[in-house]
Structure 1
């Protein structure tokens, strides 16, 4: 496999990046070193921000209008279709997510861009508003240079969606992929340069927290779209706060799955395990905590173990793998720490199946206990199971702690399940299912609680990157 050179991209040109403190990118399947990590220098980050800011001030990209920007983006969509196989391999290697899944993500990147373009074209650059005097227009204007900070669990999918909606809105961008998963973002940046995007419109910097802090605290960055952990989100909000920078932060959540008394336990367990183990358990909206009537806990645990036992565990590059390793050693160590903390608090730990000894594998795990109390999101193939003494108790448990993104309810009486689901503090509630995909084309959800700021759904994402500016002749003869 050809591993892209870890370069910084400024004004459409690649530059060498510095070595990053003797750290390495590893193969999560074996633990083998693949390439030394690299970071953009302080000067490079400053120049990348300056390039994006200058592109905004110059206004060439904005003046093209949606119709003029669309051909660039559609050409990028076509190019990403051509790169899909390479991107899928790199993402599987960077994230530990099975290649059967990264291939689906990589294969849809082009359509993500096409969808963003279609939505923006339909909306247009401005709207004429009803007014007695006529001629009143509402324009959508990008805030300015925008920072796009990507997670490591779905590297190309997140990079493409953020970049597509920023660019179609007219906002020049500085991308920062996770230091654990930089490769597919580099291919995307290179593709924009090959296709002749104007200078400064797409820039990319590499690095960890220090680079991220420099990026988000710079007053020339006027909007930040970030997907990642809640601690990182809080740090970004603190750094960007003095500049009143616009924020869209999709963070973590220990999403609850409530199993009701009338649920089909076998079907519920199969769906919960499927959702919890997707992306090697590294999916922000995955079910993390299962809450069930006390008398159903034992048979439900048995059904969950059965479903987990059927998973094919193996290399993320193996076509047959259903559960790969987690992305990096620190992720595995954090899961082990959480498991032992739950055990120490009285939880019964059930490890299902044997994970390979090499690499960053974590065996599918259940933790059963009356008290489940974790400060941070469980982000890997581990589920907790907790008894409830009533439906009200189950809802209270589901809404406690680090929540806000998603929730799940299982029961054969759908009206009852919906009545329970609408009481969950989360932006998306699914009944009797745990798919990654949105419920419908016009789906939208806000990030509740500590799960973030803003929301998602394509209309929300497009709206984030622009402010609204109204212009028109004032109405004559008004009393005030």
Structure 2
């Protein structure tokens, strides 16, 4: 198959990305180099921000109606729907996530674009407020040029989600995809241009950390939405603090699961295995640590090892694969180092030793070790199983370390399990399940603790890109 050229998009024009450090994009299934990894120049980054600033200043996008923006988002949705299979294959190569999953993401991208447009139409850009003295309006005003910093684990889904809601809100954007997964963003920019989204509204820069630092450090960037690692999030927050740029940061979390004494252990083991192995273990809300009654710890660990052993491990492009490789070589190396550290702490590790010889495969592993475990997030197909004496201890251990995104509770008494879930430091807690999708159409989730800033309920995401402004006739005769 052919791969999109890594172009830089500025003001509606695609340019060559001229910088290269000699690195390549690889097929994670084989390690084979596929295409050179190219970066935008610093001058291109500056010009991309300037193009976004000009589009914000002359109101070519925020000055249009929500209905018109939704119309163009619908057109972009049709464009990406036609290319859903191509997007799925590119995502599977960029991330190592099995194509059966990337097809789900690719097939949902159009719906995400349409939904964002509908939500913006529902809330409108301004509305009248009750006032007897004259007209008073609440306006939703985009902050200004917005940087969208994208992760590598769900390339098209995250590019589309952030872009869709920013555009629906009237914001202009500069996208910076991960240097490990740049292809979906390329296609999205082609689509935005093809359907007539005005030039300068959506811009794209390519590259790794240096390009990202240049982008978020630009004084003209008024807001930053980023999904990625905690160290990167901290660096962005420090850079943005001086100018008070608005931030939405979804970072790492060692998400805990508590298995209550009345839980169906085989069912819990299956759900936990499903959760930790989704996206080849590479999703931010996966269960990473399981706490279970001391008497049942070894039984649960054995059940999890059995579940891991039943999964089909193979190429991310294979229809039958359930667990693919991790996205790149350094990701596998870090997982191996984390597993070694757990062993040095005294963990007994069960792993599935039937991974392919080539590519970036990491053997799915169950580490049996009491206590909180590693301080850093484990981002791959590995889970820790530890014991607790009582539920108070389980909560204390679960809330130790870097937490805040998600939590899980398993139990026969669902009301009691949900009550226990309220004690976890997490924005979303699921009872007896580990699905990726929201539990309700009205779900909202804040990022607690060190897991980030903001949240990612759909209404929260739409609200992030705008500030609220009141304009109207003042009330006469007020005493102060």
Q: TM-score range by the shorter chain?
A: over 0.9
Q: How far is 1:241 from its partner? A: 1.2
Q: Could you tell me which residue of structure 2 aligns to residue 279 of structure 1?
A: 279
Q: Is 1:178 the counterpart of 2:182 in the alignment? A: no
Q: How far is 1:262 from its partner? A: 0.6
Q: Could you tell me which residue of structure 1 aligns to residue 388 of structure 2?
A: 388
Q: How far is 1:19 from its partner? A: 3.7
Q: Could you tell me which residue of structure 1 aligns to residue 322 of structure 2?
A: 322
Q: How far is 1:18 from its partner? A: 2.1
Q: Is 1:405 the counterpart of 2:368 in the alignment? A: no
The superposition leaves residues 68-102 of structure 1 with CA deviations (integer Å, 9 ceiling, x where unpaired) of 21221111011010110100000000000000000
- Which runs of at least 4 in structure 1 moved beyond 6 Å after TM superposition? none
Aligned pairs for 1:367-382 within 5 A: 367-382=367-382
Q: Could you tell me which residue of structure 1 aligns to residue 431 of structure 2?
A: 431
Give yes or no for contact 1:147–1:173 (8 Å, CA) kept in 2.
yes
Aligned pairs for 1:234-245 within 5 A: 234-245=234-245
Q: Could you tell me which residue of structure 1 aligns to residue 209 of structure 2?
A: 209
Give yes or no for contact 1:342–1:372 (8 Å, CA) kept in 2.
no
Q: Could you tell me which residue of structure 2 aligns to residue 255 of structure 1?
A: 255
Which secondary structure state, in structure 2, belongs to the residue aligned with residue 35 of structure 1? strand
**Cα distance in 2 for residues equivalent to 1:271 and 1:62:** 44
**Cα distance in 2 for residues equivalent to 1:283 and 1:21:** 28
**Cα distance in 1 for residues equivalent to 2:259 and 2:60:** 55
**Cα distance in 1 for residues equivalent to 2:332 and 2:54:** 42
Q: Could you tell me which residue of structure 1 aligns to residue 125 of structure 2?
A: 125
**Cα distance in 2 for residues equivalent to 1:190 and 1:392:** 53
Give yes or no for contact 2:372–2:398 (8 Å, CA) kept in 1.
no
Structure 2 alignment gaps of length 5 or more: none
The superposition leaves residues 114-148 of structure 1 with CA deviations (integer Å, 9 ceiling, x where unpaired) of 10011110111111111121311100010000000
Give yes or no for contact 1:19–1:36 (8 Å, CA) kept in 2.
no
Q: Could you tell me which residue of structure 2 aligns to residue 459 of structure 1?
A: 459
**Cα distance in 1 for residues equivalent to 2:29 and 2:260:** 38
Structure 1 alignment gaps of length 5 or more: none
Q: How far is 1:306 from its partner? A: 1.3
Q: Could you tell me which residue of structure 1 aligns to residue 299 of structure 2?
A: 299
**Cα distance in 1 for residues equivalent to 2:441 and 2:231:** 31
Which secondary structure state, in structure 1, belongs to the residue aligned with residue 61 of structure 2? helix
**Cα distance in 2 for residues equivalent to 1:469 and 1:372:** 45
Give yes or no for contact 2:371–2:397 (8 Å, CA) kept in 1.
no
Q: Could you tell me which residue of structure 1 aligns to residue 418 of structure 2?
A: 418
The superposition leaves residues 147-184 of structure 1 with CA deviations (integer Å, 9 ceiling, x where unpaired) of 00100000000000100111111111000000000001
Q: How far is 1:416 from its partner? A: 1.2
**Cα distance in 2 for residues equivalent to 1:338 and 1:275:** 19
**Cα distance in 1 for residues equivalent to 2:288 and 2:373:** 12
Which secondary structure state, in structure 1, belongs to the residue aligned with residue 165 of structure 2? helix
**Cα distance in 2 for residues equivalent to 1:403 and 1:473:** 47
| RMSD, aligned CA | 0.8
Give yes or no for contact 1:351–1:366 (8 Å, CA) kept in 2.
yes
Which secondary structure state, in structure 1, belongs to the residue aligned with residue 222 of structure 2? strand
Q: Could you tell me which residue of structure 1 aligns to residue 479 of structure 2?
A: 479
**Cα distance in 2 for residues equivalent to 1:370 and 1:249:** 31
Q: Normalised by the size of structure 1, how large is the TM-score?
A: 0.99
Q: Is 1:58 the counterpart of 2:61 in the alignment? A: no
Q: How far is 1:453 from its partner? A: 0.3
